[in-house]
């Protein structure tokens, strides 16, 4: 497993955020784009968690252990901060504690808000989320992904 997928998703999201930000669209259209982007950011986060920890398992474990870890990571959905912390703690309790300390506040709020809004959107509820808020959350979510990558070491 490689982190190429993370880079690909980031490039796609960066490009889409740029295009949507340049649109001179009415507020309703902007709201639709915001919901779509929120779902994509949530998917990016889930993929990043699987790729980072899966890559770590492949680099540091036997094939059997890595296969087991990858199968467990496939079950990581709705990757809110608590689930990410649980995953980190399954590898190393110190990772969990460090990550919890670093992400407390804005980073945790962004991750949890993206996941919560994604679930609300998926169930047909109105979230009132705006393009600028999703963009801000995305910036913070990428910081969390970088923290995960730093903890798990170079590829």
**What one-character DSSP code corresponds to residue 124?**
T
pLDDT in tens, 124-145: 898 889 999 999 999 999 999 9
pLDDT in tens, 40-92: 999 999 999 999 999 999 999 999 999 999 999 987 889 999 999 999 999 99
Using DSSP, state whether 11 is helix, strand or coil.
Answer: helix
Domain residue limits, the chain: 4-152
Residue 133: which residues within 8 A CB-CB, separation 6 or more? 34
Confidence of residue 153 (pLDDT cuts 50, 70, 90): confident
How many Cβ atoms from other residues are within 10 Å of residue 16's Cβ? 14
Across 32-46, average pLDDT: 96
């Amino acid at each position: 497993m490689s982190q190429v997928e993370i880079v690909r998703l980031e490039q796609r999201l960066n490009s889409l955020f740029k295009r949507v930000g340049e649109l001179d669209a009415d507020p309703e259209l902007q709201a639709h784009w915001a919901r779509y982007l929120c779902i994509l950011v949530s998917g990016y986060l889930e993929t990043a968690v699987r790729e980072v920890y899966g890559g770590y398992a492949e680099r540091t474990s036997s094939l059997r252990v890595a296969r087991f870890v990858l199968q467990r990571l496939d079950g990581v959905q709705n990757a809110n901060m608590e689930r990410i912390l649980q995953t980190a703690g399954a590898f190393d309790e110190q990772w969990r504690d460090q990550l919890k300390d670093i992400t407390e506040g804005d980073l945790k709020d962004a991750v949890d808000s993206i996941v919560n809004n994604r679930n609300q959107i998926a169930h047909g509820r109105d979230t009132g989320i705006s393009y600028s808020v999703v963009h801000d959350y995305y910036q913070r979510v990428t910081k969390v992904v970088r923290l995960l990558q730093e903890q798990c070491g170079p590829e």
